[in-house]
């Protein structure tokens, strides 16, 4: 396995980072209760970008803790199907 240097790891990390950006942006916009023209966009986008960076760094930091090729620290329960990278052959039983 390629671990942190494999494409699956970076695809999963990118997915987490995009979700973190979107969630933090929505939280900041809904917490401000302002109209779209009244929002301080520089501060809001800067904060969302910082959350995205922290998500990326936490995925990298946890790369040696959880399963190989996965930025998660949680191992799936035994018997549960694991996500396979696109184009990867299923694991032999």
Counting beta carbons within 10 angstroms of the beta carbon of residue 13, is it exposed (0 to 12), middle (13 to 18) or buried (19 or more)? buried
pLDDT of 93 > 50? The answer is: no
Counting beta carbons within 10 angstroms of the beta carbon of residue 86, is it exposed (0 to 12), middle (13 to 18) or buried (19 or more)? exposed
Which of the four pLDDT bands, split at 50, 70 and 90, describes residue 51? very high
Long-range contacts of 1-7 (CB under 8 A, 24+ apart): 1/68, 1/69, 2/69, 3/63, 3/64, 3/68, 3/69, 4/60, 4/63, 4/64, 6/69, 6/85, 7/85
Instruction: Identify the pLDDT of residue 86.
Output: 60
In this prediction the pTM is 0.70
The whole-number average pLDDT for the span 55-60 is 90
Instruction: Identify the pLDDT of residue 55.
Output: 93
Q: What integer best gives the mean pLDDT of the chain?
A: 80
């Amino acid at each position: 396995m390629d671990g942190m240097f494999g494409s699956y790891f970076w695809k999963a990390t990118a997915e987490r980072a995009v979700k973190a950006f979107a969630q933090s942006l929505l939280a900041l916009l809904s917490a401000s209760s302002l109209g779209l023209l009244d929002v301080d966009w520089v501060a809001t986008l800067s904060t969302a970008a910082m959350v995205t960076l922290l998500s990326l760094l936490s995925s990298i930091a946890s790369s040696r803790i959880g399963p190989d090729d996965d930025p998660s620290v949680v191992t799936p329960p035994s018997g549960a199907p694991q996500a396979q990278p696109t184009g990867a052959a299923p694991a032999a039983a």
